[in-house]
Every structure is written in structure tokens, then in C-alpha cells.
Amino acid sequence: MLNNWVVMPTCLPLVLRRCHTCASESFRTHGKFRVNAHHKLLDAWLLALCTGCGDTTKLTVLERTQVRSVRPELLDRMHDNDPGLAAELLQDPGVRRRNRVALDWSDAWRLDTGGSDHLDREVIDISVGFAARIPVRPVRLIAEGCGLSRAAVGRLLAEGKLVSAIRLSGRTSGDFSFMLKR
């Protein structure tokens, strides 16, 4: 019987960038936007606050873009400070590359296993889905979901009792499945 686990975000991740004021390495965004118009051109930024001193930085979303080329729904969501839009934009590789930032998902996600009634079976077949592109080590997810230590998961992997189509020792942010034989 196949069980489904889901890796879900609990909040927006930290934005890793050096603060010019206090030399802190991280910023927290709360989904606030600033939109500025220059005649027929728009600039839009996602605002983030330094975790050390509270200084504000702007992450560029739109830069000197023609008003007519911006979808009205996108503009409305920015004006409404939609946190869902902030999450989408933070996961956009183009926005991250343009602003030279990385994301820290350390305390911003949780694993939903749907209960622990399946853990006492001889063979466990699990499908892991991601609600957002959160880079996590599969070994960590398996350890947390099955109530094992990472060392125990490593032993099961070495013994061939833990099988998957993907490499379980690296990081992944895509859906995968695995089978655990006890």
C-alpha cells in the first residue's frame, strides 16, 4: 500500500544576502511589495528586513517595465501585498539570480506524513511530494518520517533495505518515492 508524505512550507524562507549596515547574512520577507511608476514604466520590489538590525532591502521584481506588458492580476497582487506571490517570486530562479540571493529553508518547512500507523509494517512504500521547491536531504525526510536516526537510515541504505529510484544521499526538491524493508 502506497503512503503519501508531503513536504510543506510553514513560512517564507530567509533570504541570504549581506546587510550593508550590520554585516548580517540574512533577511526575512513578510510579503510586502513596493511599486513605483515612472510615467509609463513600472518598477516593483519585494521588501525584506535584516534579521540583525531591521534595515530594509529591496529585491527587484520588475525593472523599468512597460505598464501595458504587466498582467493586471500580477499588479493587483503586488498592490495587495500577497504573501503567495512573494513565495512564488522567491522560488523563481530568475528573480534570485537577478538579485544575487539564495534561500535558507532551515526552519521554514514541515513533513506531513498523515499519521504513523504505516510504520509497523514489514514493507513500507512511500511517495514524497513537495508543495514548494524546498531542497531537503531525502535521508533526513526518511529519518524524520519513520522516527529513525540518520545513522540508522544510512545503515538501512547500505544494507540495501532502503531502495529508491533517486540518489538518497544528496539534496532534492522534486517528488520521489522509496521502499523500506525491515
Per-residue pLDDT of the chain in tens (182 residues, 90 and over written 9): 678 999 999 999 999 999 999 989 999 999 999 999 998 999 999 999 999 999 999 999 999 999 999 999 999 999 999 999 999 999 999 999 999 999 999 999 999 998 776 667 888 899 999 999 999 999 999 999 988 999 999 999 999 999 999 999 889 999 999 999 87
Diameter of the chain by CA atoms? 67
Separation in Å, CA 132 to CA 88, 90, 116, 150, 170:
9, 11, 23, 23, 18
0.75 surpassed by pTM: yes
Contact 108, 15 (CB under 8 A): no
